[in-house]
């Protein structure tokens, strides 16, 4: 039996690698993956072009709705069994499709429903909601309820005989389709009684209050299409019982059969480790690297995916917030990095990208006795800045970036992707401190250096501090992205 998995995506760069890895890791081999991209501009298309799946079909569209795109994918597929997997979702383990195929064979049922759990951000083990298909019956549609669409599997003739999704629906097209199949056409269905899919919270249906109004109006519209009278109150009344899907969750039980391992083909693209160096003298100049400070600004930005971890990114502990991963580490201020770093003899010039004073340039010249080239950068976003960097890094260049975090890490990532050789240090304002442009931080504020910096450009710095602190705290209590990251000590 051939299985067609349909994925619709639009600007899904941050999540789709996990989806692709989940599909390609399935131990059932007769799978085709049909992906419909709606006109991505964030790098998703480049990821799809490099998708290492021999049984893939990638379709590029523009301006199509979600359900139009799903219809396109279904029409282009030719599997005996069709299922939907969104671009920020994964399968519960690598045996899911095999399990489903066993259940589907030798039965007259046309539709099959698995259970779905919802996770937050990229913490797949932290379940926020359990949406079971068990105890499913036809009557639930009377109240505007439906089985979990992401966990549904359809035999091919369902679409051939009873039609595709209604392209005029924005959010509740899945309800209308299943209502048509099960409530109106009375097709046979079966529950699989195991979790098939892990779905990211905060999707289209749960985006905001406006989404809630659209869903309810479209559910009401479904009843009207089939001339069934239904009050809006009765539809809205379906919501309160769903609260039990969010409480009393047995995390251990729901995670019992969960297994997600990044496919070896994607280990370089999906990296979930912080490489921590505690002795800067052991930094290896024979390899490419990006060196950056692990501090509040870094972890706050990391929690919002504004910084991309990769094997070349190395962090030094810089502040109290670096202790969330390794409590025994000691802070290394950026000025100490500048004073203690020992360059390889093959480094023959230093390029400073960003701000550099005359004092700073003079300090670098005397400290390293090398040619110093200063390249000022324009104001703007990291993408705008990166687009203005035209030069190629030479093998024996050392780059200092003097931008704020996360902008300097984002520019460094651009340089990493576009250069064969790179040795980059995201040094922020530390050159100014060692050069005497700025007073050194008092020892009493060693772990709270960000407070010392508030004495000038106070409003801008307070705003930035509050934003990053909010990002950090919201991750600790809500998103749990940072807890999933491993620490790799590289200088032992």
Q: Which domains occur in the chain, in start order? A: 3-254 (3.90.550.10), 272-489 (no CATH)
Which ranges of 331-371 would DSSP assign to H, the alpha helix?
A: 334-340, 358-368
CA 88 centroid distance within chain? 8
Instruction: Give the pLDDT confidence score for residue 492 in this predicted structure.
Output: 59
Alpha helices in 239-285 (DSSP H): 251-254
Residue segments in the chain with a per-residue pLDDT below the cut of 50: none
What are the DSSP E strand ranges found in 277-340? 289-294, 313-317
The pLDDT of residue 266 is 76
At residue 258, φ and ψ (nearest 5 deg) are -80, 135
CA-to-CA distance for 352 and 364, rounded, in angstroms? 10
Residue 148, CA distances (Å) to 14, 35, 44, 58 in order: 24, 21, 27, 26
For residues 269 and 18, give the distance between their C-alpha atoms in angstroms, rounded to a whole number: 10
- The per-residue pLDDT for 250 is 96
R_g of the chain, CA atoms, integer Å: 27
DSSP for 15-68?
THHHHHHHHHT-S---EEEEEEE----SSHHHHHHT---TTEEEEE-SS--HHH
pLDDT digits (tens, 9 = 90+) for 126-170: 899 999 997 788 889 998 999 999 999 999 999 999 999 999 999
Q: What local confidence, expressed as pLDDT, does residue 435 receive?
A: 93
For the chain, the straight-line distance linking the first and the last C-alpha, in angstroms and rounded, comes to 51
Distance CA 201, CA 207 (A): 9
Q: Tokens in use for 147?
A: 């089985």
Question: Are the beta carbons of 26 and 54 closer than 8 angstroms?
Answer: no
Interatomic CA distance for residues 91 and 124, integer angstroms: 11
CA dist., res. 83 & res. 153, Å (int):
5
Q: For 476, which DSSP code?
A: I
Cβ contacts of 160 within 8 Å, gap of 6 or more? none
**CA distances in angstroms from 16 to 8, 21, 74, 139, 480, listed in the order given:** 10, 8, 19, 35, 19
- Buried-exposed string 243-269: b where 16+ CB fall within 10 A, e elsewhere: eebeeebeeeebbeebebebbebbeee
In this structure, how many other beta carbons lie within 10 angstroms of the beta carbon of residue 332? 20
Q: Which phi-psi region, left, alpha or beta, contains residue 68 (left: φ > 0; alpha: ψ -120 to 50)?
A: alpha
Q: Residue 174's pLDDT is what?
A: 97
Residue with tokens 């019992």: 256
Q: Contacts for 125-130 with beta carbons within 8 Å, 24 or more apart?
A: 125/251, 125/255, 125/258, 125/484, 126/251, 126/480, 127/249, 127/251, 127/254, 127/255, 128/201, 128/246, 128/249, 129/201, 129/245, 129/246, 129/249, 130/245, 130/249, 130/254
Tokens of 179: 């209502």
């Amino acid at each position: 039996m051939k299985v067609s998995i349909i994925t619709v995506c639009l600007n899904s760069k941050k999540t789709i690698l996990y989806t692709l890895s989940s599909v390609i890791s399935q131990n059932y081999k007769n799978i085709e993956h049909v992906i419909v991209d709606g006109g991505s501009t964030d790098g998703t298309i480049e990821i799809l072009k490099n998708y290492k799946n021999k049984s893939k079909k990638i379709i590029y569209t523009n301006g199509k709705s979600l359900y139009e795109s799903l219809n396109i994918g279904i029409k282009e597929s030719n599997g005996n069994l069709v299922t939907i997997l969104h671009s920020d979702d994964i399968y519960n383990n690598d045996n899911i499709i095999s399990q489903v195929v066993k259940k589907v064979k030798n039965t007259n049922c046309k539709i099959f429903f698995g259970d779905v759990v919802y996770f937050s951000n990229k913490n797949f083990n932290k379940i926020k909601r359990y949406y079971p298909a068990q105890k499913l019956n036809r009557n639930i549609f009377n109240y505007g309820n439906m089985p979990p669409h992401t966990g549904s599997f359809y035999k091919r003739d369902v679409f051939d005989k009873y039609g595709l999704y209604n392209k005029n629906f924005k959010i509740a097209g899945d309800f209308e389709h299943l209502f048509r199949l099960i409530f109106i056409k009375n097709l046979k269905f079966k529950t699989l009684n195991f979790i098939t899919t892990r779905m990211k919270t905060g999707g289209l249906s749960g985006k905001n209050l406006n989404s809630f109004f659209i869903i309810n109006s479209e559910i009401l519209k479904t009843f009207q299409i089939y001339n069934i009278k239904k009050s809006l109150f009765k539809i809205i009344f379906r919501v309160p019982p769903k609260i039990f899907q969010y409480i009393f969750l047995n995390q251990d039980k729901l995670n019992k059969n969960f297994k997600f391992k990044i496919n070896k083909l994607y280990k370089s693209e999906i990296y979930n480790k912080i490489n921590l160096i505690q002795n800067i003298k052991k930094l290896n100049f024979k390899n490419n690297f990006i060196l950056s400070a692990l501090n509040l600004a870094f972890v706050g930005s990391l929690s919002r995916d504004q910084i991309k971890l990769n094997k070349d990114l190395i962090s030094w502990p810089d502040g109290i917030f670096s202790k969330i991963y390794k409590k025994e580490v000691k802070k290394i201020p950026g000025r100490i990095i500048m004073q203690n770093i020992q360059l390889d003899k093959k480094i023959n010039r230093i390029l400073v990208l960003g701000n550099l004073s005359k004092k700073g340039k003079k300090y670098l010249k005397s400290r390293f006795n090398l040619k110093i080239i200063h390249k000022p950068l324009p104001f703007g976003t990291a993408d705008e800045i990166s687009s203005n960097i035209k030069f190629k890094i030479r093998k024996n260049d050392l780059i200092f970036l003097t931008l704020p975090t996360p902008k300097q890490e984002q520019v460094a990532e651009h340089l990493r992707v576009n250069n064969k050789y790179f040795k980059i240090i995201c040094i922020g304002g530390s050159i100014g401190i060692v050069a005497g442009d700025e007073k050194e931080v008092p020892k009493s504020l060693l772990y709270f250096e960000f407070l010392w910096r508030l004495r000038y450009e106070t409003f801008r710095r307070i705003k930035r501090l509050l934003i990053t602190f909010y990002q950090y705290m919201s991750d600790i209590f809500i998103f749990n992205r940072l807890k999933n990251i491993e620490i790799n000590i590289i200088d032992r």
